[in-house]
Amino acid sequence: MEVKTSLLDNMIGVGDMVLLEPLSEESFILNLKKRFDHSEIYTYIGSVVISINPYRSLPIYTPDKVEEYRNRNFYELSPHIYALADEAYRSLRDQDKDQCILITGESGAGKTEASKLVMSYVAAVCGKGHEVNKVKEQLLQSNPVLEAFGNAKTVRNDNSSRFGKYMDIEFDFKGDPLGGVISNYLLEKSRVVKQPRGERNFHIFYQLLSGASDEMLRKLKLDRNFSNYNYLSLDSAVVNGLDDTANFRTVRNAMQVVGFMEDEVQSVMELVAAVLKLGNIEFKPESRQTGTEESRIKDKNDLKEMCEVLGIEQLVLERAFSYRTVEARLDKVSTNLNVSQAYYARDALAKNLYSRLFTWLVTRINESIQAQTKARHKVMGVLDIYGFEIFEDNSFEQFIINYCNEKLQQLFIELTLREEQEEYIREGIEWTNIDYFNNAVICDLIENNQNGILAMLDEECLRPGSVTDETFLDKLNTICAEHQHFESRLSKNSKFLTDHSLPHNCFRIQHYAGKVLYHVEGFVDKNNDLLYRDLSQAMYKANHSLVKQLFPEGNPAKVNLKRPPTAGSQFKASVGTLMKNLHTKNPNYIRCIKPNDKKASHIFTESLVCHQVRYLGLMENVRVRRAGYAFRQPYEPCLERYKMLCKRTWPHWRGPAREGVEVLLSDLQVSAEEFAYGRTKIFIRNPRTLFFLEERRRDCLQDLAALIQKIYRGWKCRRQFLLMKKSQIVVAAWYRRYAQQKKYQRIKSATTVVQSYTRGWQARKLLKELKYQKRCEEAVTTIAAFWHGTQVRREYRKFFRANAGKKIYDFTIQRIIQKYFLDLKKNMPSMSPIDKNWPARPYQFLDGVHKELRKIFHVWRCKKYRDQFTEEKKLVYEEKLEASKLFKDKKALYPSSVSQPFKGDYLEISRNPKYQKLTGAVDEKVLLADMVNKINRANGKGTARIFLLTKKNFVLADQKNGQVKASVPLPDLISVSVSTQNDGFFALRLKEGSASAVKGDFLLSSERLIEIITKLHRISATAADRERLNIDISDEFLVQFKQDKVCVKFIPAAPKNGNSASCKRKNNRLLEVLVPTSP
């Protein structure tokens, strides 16, 4: 029978804060601390999960834990993030409800790890299969890529996400993942050019310098020394616990799994290197004759290397750093940039380049992981975004982050109330309005289109004339002065005039989580986020395909004089889209809390946790949940848990579960005001009532345990007594049997002894008589033998001398041969067919035998070696043998091809998506796929072509787009012409009059000439319907080009510009091939 468990069993502290009694901020913090000290890092507030970062590994994420929480009720086991993930997944799969999981908390609270745990749990419990596993692996491997480019080490967290991420995971009707879509919000691109003390730039910069090979760094024109790059902070370049070298390998593997091509990975690394090079560009002032100051680049080496990596003309980019062109309708004005403006332009370019690269990465990942089918999908969204931030110096980034959190808090309260109200209506319970703080007034202060802070910031940025942060603050003081949640020292509200905690260049907003002081310095510049048009156009002129793709506004043909949207308006639109998306889904919340600022385990700083509890609004959440009924439970589990408290319901209740609960509560005399009956659930108003039931249940369980123990002990004693009684009877029976057996054995033994003595006496008497008779017979035999021996020796003596020599010779020869075979056995050579060792011949008369044995052993050894070959290996050796017959001692290129295996498909054409179109055009198995050069008779230059060989055709296709240029049936091929020298040129001669010969023969060049011609020859030899292919090896042969015949002549020459052969046109009838000869 399955054992029913509950959240309330073996509870440390209170597992669900809704049941906390008494409820206060102090008791809330103490309950979290008590559970944290016992390694219970998860706590519920109804269906909300509070997660405290333990800063250590806990054994609660094993495959066994996944199975334990799989398909279980949310409150059935102790609080865990797996319970929330399972509830969301089952609601999506079984009830067809789109889900979203909102993960919030400040940096270092464990938001990223929480999102990984949710995704890994869903991946573990959903279906299996090759395609499903591939999708799951791509979804999981997108995390390392985004973490490398979007995470950084901060003072609060060694792996802090510096962007917001929302992932929609799409499922089919069975609950198997089909793909996903990732949205990113507000990458902290200012970190690219400047990092606070004790923090690092994004991980990818350090991973590239630490983990890339020397060859890659040489191509990117980088070195491993961090101190050589101005954009990399040195005080925290190395972080304990972070292995940048291993992480770089992980990122490369993850990009390969997600679907990045090798050239795309190289392009991404080139852009990362370009950002590092940008930071090393420095400027110096230079005075002009007109008295104005302009900037010049100090050392152009870094600029030169960056331009070489990105394929940009150096003078174009250098001018873009020195001048700015402003266009207004038909007018263009070019102004000089001073040093500070040049540095601003450089940093703006670096930030834009990295930010656009990150956006491209997200788009590229979405192309790989998006669902392939167009049918409707079930969706589970996972939101991992910044938590509320209150620093000593809060700027524009903290302002819009906190605005996003205000919107999320508004959504959270609204959806929580809606969920509560829907459950009350569904269960038929009367709904009463709940008083709570509605932060819509704060959201309106920030996002109002007419007089909101963001609208006024945009208006100030677009206003002509002198625009500064101070003029923006003046506008706020004028319009928002009377707002109850806005505070400023210079506003018309006189109560802040003497508030010295409020500086003159700041304003303060009273958020739902507390008051935050914002410094207006940098608000206008960060909102503008301008990149000079000259820099955009310079980047668009790059020969680097990815750079051109990232700066489309730099296209001179598409000049747009319209001002680009500001950073604030873009983020506001993104948040609005996110809110609409979240409104359509069923929400699930994970609130992450950081226990201390030291990133250490077992430390719980109450003041820090209290601060986070306030700005996460957790107390407000508990009060909303407890405003009506604090606890609710379906009738069946409620009756199952508490039925032992009433004699009428114990041990079995035969009627409906609701009637059983009514009988139970009536028998316990619980006040009617403390509970209400829903359609499927019992609602309990006060946690004290629940704890009263739990206390009565514990007492009852103790009584039941004592009764069970008493009955069990009695049963055990009776069972022991009956077992001992039965055992005594068995032992007595066995003993009596044993005693009788022993008595019988003694009598039998005595009888045997008497019989043995009698038989012994008779035997000895008979033996004595037989011995006497035998001695007599032996005496007679001995005397006769001696007499016969004497007679024989007399006769043999005269023949002995004549035959003794032959006997000795035969014996000696036999011993020599025996020793020869024994020595040969000990000194046998190895089983390798190429081993020519053989023991020396000891005697000359064994010469013939010695040679014959050596030949027999070699034949046997070769047979054993051949028996080990597989069919594929036999085929390879047959092709090598065929090549030897065709080219050995005839073609100088042949010896270098002997050690190279014939691979066939060098392009991996079936697995490379680049050649998908070409694969569809060839409907036969490809025997060989390689790159060749097709020689142009007009100038002797080669054009790269893809060469495909099947059993019926050979195909030439374009290298870039895979378009088929020529497809020739093999019966139309009559001969192949090659030279005797060390070159790769060969001519494919076509049958005159055939359709393939319209444009003439093909003159090609390939490093794998030997393999190509060998395979052509083998195909023609195995085909029954055509003649064997003729191989013409000569240093001068004719090639038919359309209507003309051209002589191709091979001439040895000294090496020039490498060791490759070159073809030159001498006249209309002659092509000379210069083949380098070794010195």
Catalytic residues: 107-108, 112, 157, 160-161, 387, 389
Cα separation of 810 and 789, whole Å?
27
In this structure, the number of other CB atoms found within 10 A of the CB of residue 818 comes to 10
Which three-class secondary structure string do you get for 171-222?
Answer: ECCCCCEEEEEEEEECCCHHHHCCCCCCCCCEHHHHHHHHHCCHHHHHHHCC
Cα separation of 448 and 577, whole Å?
16
Cβ-proximal residues to 2 (8 Å cutoff; 6+ apart), any chain:
none
Which three-class secondary structure string do you get for 422-462?
Answer: HHHHHHCCCCCCCCCCCCHHHHHHHHCCCCCHHHHHHHHHH
Cβ(405)–Cβ(388) under 8 Å?
A: yes
Q: Identify the CA nearest to 553 among candidates 566, 568, 540.
A: 540
Structure-block tokens of residue 303: 């600029």
Q: What is the DSSP letter of 933?
A: E
Cβ(412)–Cβ(587) under 8 Å?
A: yes
E strands, 815-891, in order: none
- What backbone torsions phi and psi does residue 956 show, to the nearest 5 degrees? -115, 130
Cβ(480)–Cβ(453) under 8 Å?
A: yes
Structure-block tokens of residue 368: 């790989």
Cβ(207)–Cβ(248) under 8 Å?
A: yes
Q: Sign of the CA dihedral 947, 949, 954, 957?
A: negative
Cβ-proximal residues to 1042 (8 Å cutoff; 6+ apart), any chain:
998, 999, 1000
Q: Identify the CA nearest to 589 among candidates 411, 418, 377.
A: 411
In this structure, the number of other CB atoms found within 10 A of the CB of residue 347 comes to 18
- Amino acid, res. 858: H
Cβ(100)–Cβ(380) under 8 Å?
A: yes
Place of tokens 């038989």: 759
Structure-block tokens of residue 229: 């790059």
Cα separation of 9 and 75, whole Å?
11
Place of tokens 């390392």: 144
CB-side neighbour CA atoms (13 Å) of 326: 6
- Amino acid, res. 628: G
User: In Å, how far are 191, 276, 355, 535, 702 from 350, measured between CA atoms?
Assistant: 10, 9, 8, 11, 70
User: In Å, how far are 443, 671, 732, 746, 751 from 737, measured between CA atoms?
Assistant: 99, 75, 9, 15, 22
Cβ(427)–Cβ(680) under 8 Å?
A: yes
Cβ(1015)–Cβ(1008) under 8 Å?
A: no
Task: Give Cα 988 distance to the centre of its chain.
Answer: 47
Cα separation of 101 and 92, whole Å?
12
Cβ(925)–Cβ(945) under 8 Å?
A: no
